[in-house]
Structure 1
Amino acid sequence: MQLKYLRKQAEDYYAPLAVNLKNLPRHALSAGVGYDTDLGFRISAGYKNRYLNENGHQFIADLNLSLKKSHFIMEYVLPYNNPLKDRLSFFSGITYEDTTNIDSQKIEVGARLSNRFYGQLVLSEQLKFVAEHFRNSNSAPFQTQFLLVPGIAISNIRAENKGMYLDGYKYMLNLNAAHRSIASNVSFIQTRFNLKMAYSTFWGGRIIAKTDLGATAVDVFTDLPSSYRFYAGGDNSVRGYDYKSIGERNESGDVIGGRYLVTGSLEYEQKIIDAWSIAAFIDAGDAFTSTMNVKFGAGLGVRWYSIVGPVRIDIAVPSEDIGDVHFHFSLSTAL
């Protein structure tokens, strides 16, 4: 968009403005590579058709590949009610996960209605059909479960540039459910809430706090698919522990996830030179079914605010074995 002030046509204290609008290209392609200690090397690719037709319909496709977890999602988007704030989308996706304790292949198809209110406050309602083939330990047989899952989500994000830092907050509250009497093999109700806040100080410091809470009411926990179980541990959870290594264990000692999730993190970051800073942190949490046994992780880190995003390098130790040093590396968004 270009604005031009037409000074020669001014009358009294008023002058017209000439507005020149230009459409974005119809087709948009994206590609990326990355690495973190949770999932290893990652490759991503995306495609977006912004103008499928004169009604403002769009098509979006995203592919993310890694050795441990990959997914491919397609979405058809229509403007709805207020085209600037509301949209209706139909989506389908495939997710594959193969970690130490999880082996899962999931297909989902559904529809989502999203309404944006004040600022970035978004209310989303969706209905999706899920088919998941999984096992939660190497000693367990594979299961296949079918679910018809209605859900609702509320999310918000507010960010403000503060030099090399990005301050603000973001949160999301989800509620999902399924019942055996309605095209599902499992009955459950699940809610999850996550929050992250980051605020800078006038002396070049930054305080970051986050929490992730979840609870599930389910008739038979062993029938609950992997994607609806709670786990903790990893770069963005409890550092000092491996990715999804915290959770309820079975008789063989394998982590099988939990019905409940409680994690929290507090971090202080201090700028040292230019785009570099150092950090100290403590994380805590557990994923459990009956009794919570909080795990703690603490450590030090280095941050580099590169042109492609913050690079985080952390060294953390777990409370269960302070001699077991864990290294965490990630390239992520600023907030």
Structure 2
Amino acid sequence: MRFFFRAVFILLAIMPLSGAVFAQNNELQTEDITFHGNENIPAGEIRKVMATKFPSVFSWFPFVKRPVFNESVFKQDIRNIENLYQEFGYYDVIVHYTLRTNLATNLVRIIINIREGRPSLLDAINVSVTGQGRGNALLIQGIEKSILLIRGTPFEINVYDKSKQNIIEYLGNNGYPNATVEGRAVVDKQSFRVTANFNIFTGSTTCFGAVDIMGNTIVKNSDILNELTFREGQLYSRKAVFDSQRNLVQLGLFYSVNIFPSSGTAGSFVPMEVRVDERKERTIEIGVGYGTEDRFRIQSAWTRRYLLGGLRTLRAGIWHSSLTEGANVTFNQRYFIDRQTNLSGVFGYQRDFFVSYSNESLSSEARVSRTISTYIQGYAAYMLGLNRPVSTNPTIVQQLRATNPGAYYFVAALRLGLEYNTVKDIIYPEHDRLYSLYLEPASHLLGSSIDYIKAIFEARVYEAITDSVVAAVRVRVGAIEPYRFTTQIPIFERFFAGGAYSIRGYGYQQVGPKDSSGNPLGGDYLFESNFEFRFPITKNLIGVSFIDGGNVFLTNFDLSFSNLQYGIGAGVRYNSVVGPLRLDVAFPFTPFYRVQFSNYQFYVSIGYMF
């Protein structure tokens, strides 16, 4: 069994970097591909237009086969490279290659020589505007700003095409939805000069007409109209239509929303139709799931939408798992004060069943959240909580004297949060960032029986490092400091680490200081880091290899390399209809020393770790 896990782990861990295919013994295999002469286009860009597979950096492994070499495919790659250079203005480029074949090993080394030549520079930009917008100086100025080409620089055909798209988009957002852009670039190969022509027909000016709302029987017309970013008489804008549809969907009141011009309409004013498919006012939802740590879990929620005839939602939920159970009621009021601000409140009971202790809590919170910009959101909340540790191991009580089983702890605190989030695809982000900061000061001035300040910072970075491999990094740092008459933090407010969503390779909450019986004590300081390679295996199957590291500290940070605990492993994610199904296997890991294959941990859950 131990050998099996070693073999599976090593195979999965190198899969994202191998990319090898298995070839028959009598077929030529690619040993190496090198480029010479490509001074202005990086090799990475050239590789993107090639169908010929490049050998893996792990090709020296005995079981990693090199890619099969197909010369007919490679010759088409040479033509693709020439076309690529021409797209960047190098019209007299010459590409040739040399094959060095070793018949004894069936390996071929490929050398691609590129003579880039002289680039053709953009000499002139000619813009011709016809239609009703011809004499509009501001409109023409906007058209010129939409052109990305720069005189005196190498002419790039993709920038020329993008400029045409920008013009269409600009006109479509400024009252000319039927505009067209034609034209071509004229290349003088003798003088290496290019003239870019744009022939623009704006058509007639178009404005939004009357709005007809259909499909709503519960939501008022006025609430739907308030979500539209256009009004009757305004210049037609495709962006305004898209933004209006997005606003209505985000209300959570409709299954579907469609906004489009009324059929058969023509002229300067276009009537608009808004068709919605309303969700039911009252719904009951039941969900079940399974995770390695919380085992079988079930939850149910009753939701009342459009409460009291407005944009208010009331929700009551209950849940149970092997780690936690509880019930709560939440209320949400959209557009509190203004359209960027929401008000919410929650009141609930929860009981937690952790390794070292169990805790009962009754809590309430009032929160005001605000959208600051497209990517930045923040919130401020006031929280009241009554906590009672109901079951704590005796050895824990001896070391954490601030934790008295059966005693009540009244906590009153402010909760402040700020988040910067550019993640667009939550399933498989590739070029995104998420940074969050959380502060929680609890004070006797607010009515709290314990005084502390808690802070948590988290950063997540997702970056595609090749066409198929995404590197994902997460760092989480937390600290809690007692003050005034509070000298020690009760166990229910301390940090814990280890497990499927923390540091893999260890059991739940098993990273950090422990008592003499091996029960986790938690700590006042936390550091967690996770690094993943994510790579596609099939259309719906994603492979992952990862290294995690971190620790929990009792009294102060000690981030030296030797004081962190590490885990290493691999896994898969299957994109199912209920979300990504996740399976990981991980092992405790001592850097530069050994992997503890005998102490493996399996993790099964739904969704990505981060």
Query: What TM-score results when the alignment is normalised by the length of structure 1?
Result: 0.90
Candidates 483, 487, 490, aligned match of 1:224: 490
Alignment CA distance shift 1:118-1:24 (3 Å): farther
The CA deviation string for residues 231-253 of structure 1, in whole angstroms up to 9 with x for no partner, is 11000110001111123333544
Q: Which residue of 1 aligns with 2:305?
A: 50
* Distance in structure 2 (CA, Å) of the matches to 1:149 and 1:106: 15
State the Cα distance separating 1:201 from its structure 2 match.
Answer: 4.8
Candidates 267, 280, 295, aligned match of 2:565: 295
CA contact under 8 A between 1:121 and 1:156: conserved in structure 2?
A: yes
The CA deviation string for residues 292-312 of structure 1, in whole angstroms up to 9 with x for no partner, is 321000011122111211111
Q: Which has the higher strand share?
A: 1
Candidates 333, 343, 346, aligned match of 1:88: 343
* Distance in structure 1 (CA, Å) of the matches to 2:425 and 2:449: 47
* Distance in structure 2 (CA, Å) of the matches to 1:247 and 1:105: 24
State the Cα distance separating 1:135 from its structure 2 match.
Answer: 6.3
1:130 aligns with 2:390: no
* Distance in structure 2 (CA, Å) of the matches to 1:265 and 1:279: 12
Query: What does residue range 1-335 of structure 1 map to in structure 2 within 5 Å?
Result: 1-6=257-262, 8-11=264-267, 15-79=270-334, 80-82=336-338, 84-134=339-389, 137-139=392-394, 140=397, 141-142=404-405, 143-161=407-425, 165-167=428-430, 168-219=432-483, 220=486, 222-226=488-492, 228-290=493-555, 292=558, 293-319=563-589, 322=596, 323-332=598-607
Alignment CA distance shift 1:53-1:115 (3 Å): same
* Distance in structure 2 (CA, Å) of the matches to 1:22 and 1:277: 35
CA contact under 8 A between 1:310 and 1:334: conserved in structure 2?
A: no
Alignment CA distance shift 1:61-1:119 (3 Å): farther
State the Cα distance separating 1:181 from its structure 2 match.
Answer: 5.0
| Range with greater deviation from structure 2 (248-257 or 208-217) | 248-257
| Range with greater deviation from structure 2 (286-295 or 185-194) | 286-295
CA contact under 8 A between 2:482 and 2:488: conserved in structure 1?
A: no
CA contact under 8 A between 1:309 and 1:334: conserved in structure 2?
A: no
CA contact under 8 A between 1:70 and 1:96: conserved in structure 2?
A: yes
AA at the equivalent of 2:380: E
| Range with greater deviation from structure 2 (289-298 or 239-248) | 289-298
AA at the equivalent of 1:86: T
The CA deviation string for residues 30-51 of structure 1, in whole angstroms up to 9 with x for no partner, is 2211111121111122222111
List alignment gaps of at least 5 residues for structure 2.
1-256, 398-403
SS of the residue aligned with 1:231? coil
Alignment CA distance shift 1:297-1:135 (3 Å): farther
Larger Rg: 2
State the Cα distance separating 1:230 from its structure 2 match.
Answer: 0.5
State the Cα distance separating 1:23 from its structure 2 match.
Answer: 4.0
* Distance in structure 2 (CA, Å) of the matches to 1:277 and 1:182: 48
Q: Which residue of 1 aligns with 2:195?
A: none
CA contact under 8 A between 1:137 and 1:256: conserved in structure 2?
A: no
| Range with greater deviation from structure 2 (269-278 or 216-225) | 216-225
* Distance in structure 2 (CA, Å) of the matches to 1:121 and 1:28: 32
The CA deviation string for residues 150-209 of structure 1, in whole angstroms up to 9 with x for no partner, is 1211124333349x7344343431100112354222110010122323334553222111
CA contact under 8 A between 2:351 and 2:359: conserved in structure 1?
A: yes
SS of the residue aligned with 1:53? helix
Across the aligned residues of Structure 1 and Structure 2, the Cα RMSD in angstroms comes to 2.4
AA at the equivalent of 1:5: P
Alignment CA distance shift 1:333-1:23 (3 Å): farther
State the Cα distance separating 1:20 from its structure 2 match.
Answer: 3.1
State the Cα distance separating 1:221 from its structure 2 match.
Answer: 5.4
* Distance in structure 2 (CA, Å) of the matches to 1:135 and 1:240: 30
SS of the residue aligned with 2:309? coil
* Distance in structure 1 (CA, Å) of the matches to 2:527 and 2:476: 6
* Distance in structure 1 (CA, Å) of the matches to 2:448 and 2:409: 8
CA contact under 8 A between 2:359 and 2:390: conserved in structure 1?
A: yes
Q: How many residue pairs are counted as aligned between the two chains? A: 331
* Distance in structure 1 (CA, Å) of the matches to 2:421 and 2:455: 19
CA contact under 8 A between 2:513 and 2:553: conserved in structure 1?
A: yes
AA at the equivalent of 1:11: G
List alignment gaps of at least 5 residues for structure 1.
none
Q: Which residue of 1 aligns with 2:229?
A: none
Question: Percent same amino acid among aligned pairs?
Answer: 22
* Distance in structure 1 (CA, Å) of the matches to 2:469 and 2:443: 49
State the Cα distance separating 1:70 from its structure 2 match.
Answer: 2.1
Alignment CA distance shift 1:194-1:229 (3 Å): same
Flag the structure with more relative contact order, 1 or 2, with Cα contacts below 8 A and sequence separation at least 6: 1
Alignment CA distance shift 1:136-1:298 (3 Å): farther
The CA deviation string for residues 85-127 of structure 1, in whole angstroms up to 9 with x for no partner, is 3221221111211122121111101211111222253211111
Alignment CA distance shift 1:48-1:156 (3 Å): farther
AA at the equivalent of 1:97: D
Q: Which has the higher helix share?
A: 2
AA at the equivalent of 2:367: R
AA at the equivalent of 2:578: V
* Distance in structure 2 (CA, Å) of the matches to 1:206 and 1:135: 45
AA at the equivalent of 1:215: A
SS of the residue aligned with 1:248? coil
AA at the equivalent of 1:53: L
